[in-house]
């Protein structure tokens, strides 16, 4: 009977025009957003290194004399001169490599390891200045520690996999992670809530028919969530594949080993684009399940579709709303895991100042929250069943 009910729910879902419109909107998002993304002015690695090198005369010029004359000031000055030398070496390696490679891609040529070794040494000197408190250095010229960590992670990844450093940012392998980060968070949560908003519609409109199924409440709930979850993940898969194909037709697929930075254990690590895609897909699945079960629970409690949506939206946005109001919201950090794009990029950890906002804790919390909501749903149903039995009139023979 469970299978028959599952097929029944599937047929109802296939006839739901609203969900098909949501799926089409998600699929169209990738090519539509690409029209904007392709117009962005991306900073080239050469321009970045040139700008960094041009800052050193300004740094030395603005260095206060009171610090300059001290022993520590002389050591800091020596470190700054070493940094300038290493930056110029990186610029030289880039120019030499460009002259030796036809398309200007900085790959595993003769200067490949020299560039990255110089970069790692440069970043170690930057961290040394952080340990010294960056005395005498103007704030606008200080490279943040998280930026240093990101660059080190990318350098090590490129050395390990011997990948080209300079890549076309408009190819599919570079565009898909950007689009996924934009979808994650409130946009994906709204998609799930609107797609699941009709789960109990037929039950409420035709109670006599729906109650006639000889199947338990939890089996009904699992059936409804399963078919809606499958449809949402199919829409997401189709949008990624079709969006990637659209971009590939314009600029090419690119290299799917291209590194994407993720935040982990208060540091950054680089993973391949394919692994990043897998991590995002799994997280989207856990988030979709959590929201569908939570929406089902709230809809049953409030018996009002719109009230359930508003309550869930308020809960989802409460960390940002309270933070904007100046209220301490660190205790609400598990809700931030729903914005998996911000968690993987480290933006969430930086915003809330909590190191635990990384992808390992995200998956753990999403699993725990799913189990909590399912347990509450199951417990409430059991409690209601017991109350019905206790209050049922006794039939006298």
Give me 8's structure tokens.
Answer: 């029944």
**pLDDT of amino acid 340:** 94
SS3 per-residue string spanning the chain: CHHHHHHHHHHHHHCCHHHHHHHHHHHHHHHHHHHHHCCCCCCCHHHHHHHHHHHHHHHHHCCCHHHHCCHHHHHHHHHHHHHHHHHHHHHHHHHHHHHHCCCCCCCCCCCHHHHHHHHHHHHHHHHHHHHCCCCCCCHHHCCCHHHHHHHHHHHHHHHHHCCCCCCCCCCHHHHHHHHHHHHCCHHHHHHHHHHCCCCCHHHHHCHHHHCCCCCCHHHHHHHHHHHHHHHHHHHHHHHHHHHHHHHHHHHCCCCCCCEEEEEECCEEEEEEHHHHHHHHHHHHHHHHHHHHHHHHHHHHHHCCHHHHHHHHHHHHHHHHHHHHCCCCCHHHHHHHCCCHHHHHHCHHHHHHCCCCCCHHHHHHHHHHHHHHHHHHHHHHHHHHHHHHHHHCCCCCC
How many CA atoms lie less than 13 Å away from 359 in the CB half-sphere?
23
Say if residues 299 and 220 touch (Cβ distance below 8 Å).
no
**pLDDT of amino acid 125:** 95
**pLDDT of amino acid 108:** 47
- CA 255/CA 280 separation, integer angstroms: 18
Beta bridge partners of 268: 263
Say if residues 355 and 149 touch (Cβ distance below 8 Å).
no
Provide the residue ranges of all domains of the chain, joining segments of one domain with +.
Answer: 2-39+170-391, 45-161
**pLDDT of amino acid 203:** 63
Higher pLDDT, 163 or 284: 284
- CA 232/CA 290 separation, integer angstroms: 13
**pLDDT of amino acid 204:** 60
Is the confidence at residue 211, as pLDDT, over 60? Answer: no
- CA 287/CA 341 separation, integer angstroms: 12
Give me 49's structure tokens.
Answer: 């290194």
CB burial class (10 A; 0-12, 13-18, 19+) of residue 347? middle
Average the pLDDT over 337-354 and give the result: 89
How many CA atoms lie less than 13 Å away from 30 in the CB half-sphere?
26
Q: Tell me: the pLDDT tens digits for 10-58?
A: 888 888 899 999 999 999 999 999 999 998 888 788 888 888 888 888 8
- Tell me what the pLDDT averaged over the chain comes to: 85
**pLDDT of amino acid 380:** 85
CB atoms within 10 A of CB 219: 14
**pLDDT of amino acid 334:** 82
- CA 124/CA 130 separation, integer angstroms: 10
Q: Tell me: the pLDDT tens digits for 80-139?
A: 999 999 999 988 888 776 665 434 344 445 566 788 999 999 999 999 999 998 888 888
- Burial track 192-213 (b if 16+ CB lie within 10 A, e otherwise): bbebbbbbbeeeeeeeeeeeee
The architecture in CATH of the region 45-161 reads Up-down Bundle (1.20)
- CA 291/CA 335 separation, integer angstroms: 11
Is the confidence at residue 382, as pLDDT, over 90? Answer: no
Band (324; pLDDT cuts 50, 70, 90):
confident
Average the pLDDT over 55-72 and give the result: 82
**pLDDT of amino acid 101:** 47
> Dihedral sign, CA of 340, 343, 345, 351?
positive
Which of 64-68, 147-151, 388-392 shows the lowest mean pLDDT across its residues? 388-392
Is the confidence at residue 269, as pLDDT, over 50? Answer: yes
Higher pLDDT, 317 or 245: 245
- CA 388/CA 384 separation, integer angstroms: 6
Does the pTM surpass 0.85? The reply is: yes
Average the pLDDT over 220-224 and give the result: 88
Say if residues 30 and 179 touch (Cβ distance below 8 Å).
yes
Q: Tell me: the pLDDT tens digits for 276-302?
A: 999 999 999 999 999 999 999 988 888
Share of the chain above pLDDT 70, in %: 89
Which of 28-42, 154-168, 223-237, 368-382 shows the lowest mean pLDDT across its residues? 154-168
CB atoms within 10 A of CB 158: 22
**pLDDT of amino acid 389:** 57
Give me 175's structure tokens.
Answer: 């565009």
- CA 326/CA 4 separation, integer angstroms: 52
The set of residues, in sequence order, having a beta carbon less than 8 Å from that of 367 and lying 6+ positions away, is: 286
**What backbone phi and psi angles, to 5 degrees, belong to 258?**
-50, 130
Higher pLDDT, 156 or 209: 156
**pLDDT of amino acid 253:** 92
Higher pLDDT, 205 or 35: 35
């Amino acid at each position: 009977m469970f299978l028959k009910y599952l097929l029944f729910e599937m047929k109802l879902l296939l006839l739901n025009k609203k969900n098909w419109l949501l799926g089409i909107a998600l699929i169209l998002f990738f090519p539509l957003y690409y029209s904007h993304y392709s117009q962005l002015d991306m900073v080239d690695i050469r321009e970045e290194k040139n700008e960094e090198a041009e800052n050193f005369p300004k740094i030395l010029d603005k260095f206060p004399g009171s610090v300059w004359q001290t022993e520590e000031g002389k050591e800091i000055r020596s470190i700054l001169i070493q940094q300038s030398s290493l930056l110029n070496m990186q610029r030289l390696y880039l120019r030499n490599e460009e002259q030796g490679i036809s398309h200007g891609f900085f790959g595993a040529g003769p200067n490949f390891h020299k560039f990255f070794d110089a970069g790692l040494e440069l970043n170690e000197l930057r961290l040394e200045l952080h340990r010294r408190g960056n005395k005498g250095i103007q704030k606008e010229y200080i490279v943040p520690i998280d930026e240093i960590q990101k660059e080190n992670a990318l350098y090590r990844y490129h050395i390990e996999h011997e990948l080209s450093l300079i890549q076309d940012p408009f190819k599919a392998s570079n565009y898909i992670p950007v689009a996924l980060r934009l979808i994650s968070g409130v946009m994906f949560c709204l998609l799930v809530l609107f797609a699941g908003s009709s789960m109990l519609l037929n039950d409420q409109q035709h109670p006599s028919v729906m109650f006639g199924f000889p199947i338990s409440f939890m089996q009904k709930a699992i059936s409804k969530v399963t078919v809606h979850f499958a449809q949402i993940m199919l829409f997401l898969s189709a949008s990624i594949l079709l969006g990637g194909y659209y971009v590939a037709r314009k600029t090419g697929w690119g290299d799917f080993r291209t590194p994407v930075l993720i935040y982990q254990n208060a540091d950054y690590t680089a993973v391949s684009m394919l692994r990043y895609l897998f991590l995002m897909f799994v997280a989207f699945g856990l988030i979709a399940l959590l929201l569908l079960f939570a929406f089902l629970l709230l809809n049953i409690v409030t018996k009002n579709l719109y009230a359930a949506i508003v309550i869930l939206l308020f809960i989802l946005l409460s960390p940002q709303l309270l933070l904007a109001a100046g209220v301490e919201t660190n205790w609400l950090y598990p809700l931030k895991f729903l914005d998996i794009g911000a968690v993987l990029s480290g933006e969430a950890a930086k915003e809330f100042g909590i190191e635990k906002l990384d992808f390992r804790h995200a998956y753990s919390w999403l699993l725990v929250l799913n189990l909590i909501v399912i347990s509450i749903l199951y417990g409430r149903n059991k409690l209601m069943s017991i109350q019905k039995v206790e209050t049922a009139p006794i039939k006298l023979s």
